[in-house]
Amino acid sequence: MSRPTATPPSPRGVPVLGNTIAFASDPFGFVRRSVESTGDVFRMRLLGRDVYVVGDPDHVETVLLNREAFAKLEDFEVAFGDTLLSVEGEQWRRQRHAMEGFFDPTRIAEFAETMVDVAESHVDDWSSGREIGVDDEMRSIALRNLFEVVLGHSLSATERDDLAADAHALNNWFKPTSWVLPYWVPTPARREFRRGSDRLRDWARSLLDDAQDGPDEESLLATLATLQDDPDSEFDRAEVLDQVVGMIFAGHETTALAMTYALHQIAAHPDIADRFHAELDDVIDGRPSFADLRELEYAERVIDEALRLYPPVHAIPRETTERVDLGEYEIPGGEQVLLSVWSIHRDSRFYDEPLAFDPSRWEDTSPRERGYEFVPFGAGPRICIGRHFARLEMKATLAAIGRRYRLDADDEIDVTPQMTTQPAGPVNVRVTDRN
């Protein structure tokens, strides 16, 4: 059988610039229209380079399982250094092994109580009639969970705000209006990225120095601090520093976004809010326990639906290390490949009424059964190491908030792709005390 020789087709563009302007001005819309008009694999022509976009679950599976032919982009190393998010091969296996015990599903039950405490204490001063920026509130809660549960360190409110801003600045490396340009072109977004990255590394150095003076022995920070002092671990200080930087960003950003979108959709759909609150009232008597959280089936569907409709990681980038075949097409080596999670999650071929927020669609199916049609945490060997932790945090936070408050929202939410799926503006909701 002969190998494919056809190059993926390209959407119509303009001379020299190709698809640069169309993508930069409306990334999600451009990809959706291109999948519909051009196909599940297409070549996006940007200024100075091509990017191959994939919108088919079977091809996503091929890419994520073939780690030899599809490697991580250098962009991740620029953003995070030699961290679990960016490295390959034996270095990746060594880093994953060093940290996976902390995120084992059998261990995370012990974190539920702290997660509930964090959420309840954070929202204690909310009051009826108040309008809150739920995106800022969830970012603060997620940072508290990261530091108090994972890193064994407490932050003041001012420190949380500063750290959140510094971590958020890393998104600017992937801001569409900069990302479409050659890497050597200086842009305001790239300068902001550099400043945020430098400040984040200062945070990481300070945390490691503090950990050496007397860390919480149960924290991941303590584990990392120990590794840098162990000559047999093969970790030096620079690599440990990179892990802390990667953990600060990835350990709170995506979870905060998922909780933001879930709460906004509950607030925007009174019928869904009614079912959500009814389940909380039926299951929880007093303070939510881990056993209570496990029984919250409707809340679980709300979370799954938020992860489907608003996946915090909207695309998974890779780079070909050799010539590869995807269906009827071939992609040369050394080319960028973008797996469009956003497009797949909103495709009517895979989901009925895909643009509707409908938790009931998960009554007769599950994320596992959907396979590569549902990949908010990635998939394959490099699936997100913290996915079980993140799911527990989402449910604990939603339960703690929903037991006490009802949220209402009038406006639909607009989003924009950066490194993660960011709200295009503040996400405001009104608060009513249920008690």
Predicted TM-score (pTM) of this structure:
0.94
Tell me how far CA of residue 329 lies from CA of 74, 181, 324, 339, 347, in angstroms: 24, 26, 9, 15, 21
Residue 162 near residue 147, CB atoms below 8 Å: no
pLDDT at site 377: 95
pLDDT at site 295: 97
Say which residue, 41 or 213, is predicted with more confidence.
Answer: 41
pLDDT at site 244: 85
**Percent of the chain scoring above 90 in pLDDT:** 63
pLDDT above 90: residue 330: yes
pLDDT above 70: residue 217: no
What is the torsion angle, in degrees rounded to the nearest 10, for the CA atoms of residue 126, residue 391, residue 218 and residue 233? -140
pLDDT, one tens digit per residue, over 154-200 is 888 898 888 888 888 888 888 888 877 887 888 998 899 889 889 98
Label residue 31 by pLDDT band (50, 70, 90): very high
pLDDT at site 224: 81
Tell me how far CA of residue 48 lies from CA of 12, 26, 182, in angstroms: 17, 19, 7
Say which residue, 340 or 91, is predicted with more confidence.
Answer: 340
pLDDT at site 304: 98
Cα separation of 61 and 378, whole Å?
10
pLDDT at site 233: 75
pLDDT, one tens digit per residue, over 243-292 is 888 888 888 999 999 999 999 999 999 999 999 999 999 999 989 999 99
Cα separation of 70 and 125, whole Å?
48
Q: What is the mean pLDDT of residues 82-100?
A: 86
pLDDT, one tens digit per residue, over 359-368 is 999 999 999 9
Q: For residue 28, count other CB atoms closer than 10 A to its CB.
A: 19
